[in-house]
Structure 1
Amino acid sequence: MKSSEPVAVVTGGASGIGRAIALRLLAAGMRVVVGDVNAANGARLLSEAGDPGTLRFVVTDVAQEADVAALIDTAVRDFGGLDVLVNNAGVGGAFGPLTDIDAADWDRTFAVIGRGVFLGTKYGARVMISAGTGGSIVNMSSAAGLVGGAGPLAYSAAKAAVVNFTANAAVELAPHRIRVNAVCPGLIDTPMVMGRNRAAIVDGLPAVQPWPDLGTPEHIAGLVHFLAGPDSEFVTGEAIRADGGMLAWGPRMESAHDRTGATRRFAGFADGSTGRPTVKRALDGPSS
């Protein structure tokens, strides 16, 4: 039986932005089911913030339909329904010059970022429609999905697909009072964004955005909390930037991320916080 507390599912919720979102929704009195491919991070989240009455963790690869279906089923089975879905899971994905990106890496990037949002929305919307009480779906896009030059090509293209998917899903689901919005972060202080170059990125921040402070996962979690709740009842189909004014100023991300030109000398795939290593190959040598 569903309790009076809203029920939320957060994909990619075991670290970074997703973890901050899960903790924010828990603090707001929601029951939360976190899905993430990184089991170690999930176990850490449970040990640090877990309450059997309010939090669940399910190992989930959002590119796999059965995994996503099982994640949504957990929310229904354990907490009685679904009110809020945050499709947050992502990877850095394929990188390198356009002419050197492997097609398989391109497809894998879109499988996690694009297919993952589609599958989450597909199964989450089914539950919300069946309940007849509406709901909120928040998809994690990026400032890189809104312009050129703000991130790697495959990542940026996949995040752009999330923005368009969000707009179309919002139109289709509006009659069911299901709101669908996208959040587009800029530079956020997470392991996936910062990697090993945090000091250089922080040092170069004044050249990237006008706001003097680096974005934090908590900044994004606050925006998601707003979109999840009743104060945003009439907001749907939006792609909301949270980027410290970066796009208002003009995107300058590549210069901050890659001062040495590494993205022009290497190609490969960055798995973000999944626990899997980044694979890269020198364009004139073997993989490493």
Structure 2
Amino acid sequence: MTQIDFDPVFSAAIRNELDARVSAPIATVPFWRRHLRLGAGIFAGASILIGGAAAATGLLPLPGAEEVTELGASVIETATGTETVQLGAVPDGATGIRVSLTCLTPGLFTFDDGAGIRCARDDVGGRSGGVIYTLDLAPEQQSVTITTAPESSWTVTAAYVSERTTEWAVNATGETYGVLNESGQPDLIAVVATNGNNGYVHSADLARVDGSEQAATFTSPEQALEWQDSMAGEAVSVPVYESDGETRIGEFTVQY
């Protein structure tokens, strides 16, 4: 199974934020709620779509997702071990580097910012054996370095891009709908249901089953862990709708 590894500095920041804000007023809780949603349970046979990550699903355009414009030609390179891919001069308007990495062998492949992908043997040659990722463009940056073991092989397609977060859409009843992004969450959150249908869940429904609603009542990290332990083995589902928020097309399951 492919595993996405996030920047360890980012992960540590989340832990620190939990410790710092667990006893804070509710007004400061959304940061915690947002990350608890991604970590408290496993979304069984279903996926929540998040900002730029939605680009890899083939479901774009989705309201609230990143609109990506490629600037200039792509650079393709195949290598074994750690290598740096040179991209040339940065074009005007570039905000990042879009990298499409395919694992040719099992291994851990890490980008410049510490994020990466871990491919198992079964992932190689399949749909799970790769990732599309956008690196924020650092000052003077004109390359991408893939760090991996000397025996691990990979192929990368990289290009400078300009990204813009699109607006959420609004349905006939005034509810916003789209993907989670840096602005937070819409009223109807884009998901892939357990039956494979693309649809939306009401944010309030999701909050009741993914731990967000409970998180607002916790006063210590210990309480959060106790609640999570109490939910171990439980599976809770919520309805999935069309963007109208009324036409039911499936369900979304959180497995603890």
* TM-score of Structure 1 vs Structure 2, range by shorter chain: under 0.3
With the length of structure 1 as denominator, give the TM-score of the two structures.
0.21
Q: Which has the higher contact order (CA 8 A, sep 6+)?
A: 2
With the length of structure 2 as denominator, give the TM-score of the two structures.
0.23
Higher percent of residues as strand: 2
